[in-house]
Amino acid sequence: MINCIAMDDEPLALRQVTGYIERIPALNLLQSFKSAASALDFVQTHEVDLMFVDINMPDLSGMEFVKSLHDPPKVIFTTAYREYAAEGFQVDAADYLVKPISFADFSKAVSKTLRRYFSELEGAPAVSRSDRFLFIKMEYKIIRIVLSDIKYIEGMRDYVRIHLADEKPVMALMGMSKLEQQLPADSFMRVHRSYIVNLDRIRVIERNRIVFDRNVYIPVSDQYKERFQKYLEENFLS
């Protein structure tokens, strides 16, 4: 996930930004601040990937704060003053949001920033596989995932969440179709526009739903029902 912080001297504006951050699965809010000065030590001692910074703050402005950092994280500026936009891009701001900020604009800015700065590793494809495992780009790392460990894959707009048997889910910035093409068709099947399942891990099917664990029910949509039913018939012991 992308570690981020938010800072704004206006409590309502800060609450809105932190609320928006919490609605985007790829973002992990580390902390929020009411002044840029209070965030200085935190940024220098923690791994922060992305900052949401209000420009017009007392004591130390958001712009001065970013300029004071030797190797600053990526920043999306937020402000009520549109005239600050040009100055914001002089410090290589990822984006610039003018208040009042809608969630649609916020989400669009985040998606653009993630695509531009956090989805590429030099010389590495977005996803590659052998017969037994996948290599997935995740933030600044390449993650090796054993195919047999995958239970199911959940699509979330521009992201996928790969649910594993004995580990926490892995999130990556890519589309479902792209990942589907890399998975072996004899072991993985798309059963819904938002779900791909590992056929080898199916234990229970109930009312056109695949049951994973006690509280996870993967629906089989009409679009994929015929293909999934054919798979069941071919493997049904009569």
pLDDT, tens only, 21-62: 998 878 889 999 998 888 988 998 888 989 999 988 887 888
pLDDT, tens only, 214-226: 778 999 999 999 9
Give pLDDT, residue 160. 86
Report residue 85's pLDDT band, with 50, 70 and 90 as the boundaries: low
Give pLDDT, residue 3. 87
Return the closest-CA partner of residue 56 out of 81, 76, 37, 34.
81
Distance CA 165, CA 133 (A): 14
Q: DSSP string spanning 79-100?
A: ES-GGGHHHHHHTT-SEEEESS
Quote the tokens at residue 151. Answer: 């239970």
Instruction: Provide the whole-model pTM.
Output: 0.55
Mean pLDDT of 10-19: 95
Give pLDDT, residue 221. 94
**Helix (H, G, I), strand (E, B), or coil: what is residue 73?**
coil
C-alpha distances in angstroms, 97 versus 85, 103, 192? 9, 11, 35
Report residue 166's pLDDT band, with 50, 70 and 90 as the boundaries: confident
**Domains in the chain, CATH or no CATH each:** 2-118 (3.40.50.2300), 127-234 (2.40.50.1020)
pLDDT, tens only, 107-157: 999 988 887 766 543 444 455 556 688 887 765 667 888 999 999 999 877
Burial class from Cβ neighbours inside 10 Å (0-12, 13-18, 19+) for residue 54 reads buried
Phi, psi torsion values for 141, nearest 5 degrees: -120, 165
